[in-house]
Amino acid sequence: MNGTLSATQLASFQRDGFLVVEDLLSVDEVATLAERADLIAAGEADHIPESSVQLEPAYRSGERAIENQILSVRKLSNVAVHDPVMWEHAVNSKIVDVIVALLDADDLKMYGDQLFMKAPEVGRAKEWHQDSASWRDIFPMELVSAWTAIDEAPLDNGCLHFAPGTHRWGMLNGRQLEPFLSDFDEGRWPSVPVPLRAGSVSFHHSLTLHSSGPNHTPARRRGYAVHYMRATSMQDQAVTDAPKMPPFKQVRGKSFPGRV
């Protein structure tokens, strides 16, 4: 499409369902994201709705008292539609050019975004899943997420793991997925840990099975995922058990009547 990715990188994504681009963002760009994430998590951004901020279960349940508001937050959701700094990241050409190449499309919209805070010691694991199993109202199921490491994400503080090639399996429901879970964890089906340096970005297909471990270390592991789709995608309004999302914002190119 535009020379952003090599033929080898494109082939790798098509084969495995994920791709890592190291050091894609500058130190300053990462620092801007980190500062804004903490501002929102601290509750100091009045333009962000309370529904966008989710606490770690230990703090929600009262098992742990909140001593630091920022470190009690598990996830921020759908913030880029409200916040100009996070939106600037979502439309950053360094990231969007890669999405254009991976989706082979110049007309893109943002489905949504999630910033996983993965606090020290209490950041919990995320089980194996496919994103499109939640986003089941969007067709074709070929969205791509750009997961940016705000902090270093090594193996011991909860980096992502991917199961290569599983984007070609189609969408699996819980009963269909269950037999494979122990296979991934015990190595009978290959899974790959993807540690990242701060500023590096992993891109994955919305049907690629992935997970992340818990954070038992004293270091933070913030990762910001923005989810992209072709502007020609369709939203099936008859699917009522998918997430209720804000209006989809144009990232690049044009929109199409009757589509997302």
**% of the chain with per-residue pLDDT over 70:** 99
pLDDT tens for each residue of 71-101 = 999 999 999 999 999 999 999 999 999 999 9
Is the predicted pLDDT of residue 1 greater than 80, yes or no? no
CB half-sphere exposure, 78, CA atoms < 13 A: 13
Is the predicted pLDDT of residue 2 greater than 90, yes or no? no
d(CA 229, CA 167): 15
Whether pTM > 0.85 for this model: the answer is yes
| 23 band by pLDDT with thresholds 50, 70 and 90 | very high
Is the predicted pLDDT of residue 215 greater than 50, yes or no? yes
Average pLDDT over every residue of 59-76:
92
Largest interatomic CA distance in the chain: 51
Put the strands of the sheet holding 126-129 in their side by side order.
Answer: 126-129, 210-212, 160-162, 192-194
pLDDT tens for each residue of 151-174 = 999 999 999 999 999 999 999 999
Placement of tokens 């791509």 in the chain: 144
User: Which has the minimum average pLDDT: 31-35, 59-63, 203-207, 217-221?
Assistant: 59-63
Q: What pLDDT score was predicted for residue 187?
A: 84
| 186 band by pLDDT with thresholds 50, 70 and 90 | confident
Phi, psi of 112 (to 5 degrees): 180, -170
Q: Residue 187 is encoded by which pair of tokens?
A: 């190595």
Q: Which residues contact 156 (CB under 8 A, 6 or more apart)?
A: 216, 217
| 3 band by pLDDT with thresholds 50, 70 and 90 | low
pLDDT tens for each residue of 109-168 = 999 999 999 988 888 899 999 999 999 999 999 999 999 999 999 999 999 999 999 999
Q: Which residues contact 111 (CB under 8 A, 6 or more apart)?
A: 135, 138, 143, 227, 228, 229, 245, 248
> Which has the closest alpha carbon to 209: 239, 227, 189?
189
Phi, psi of 199 (to 5 degrees): 95, -15
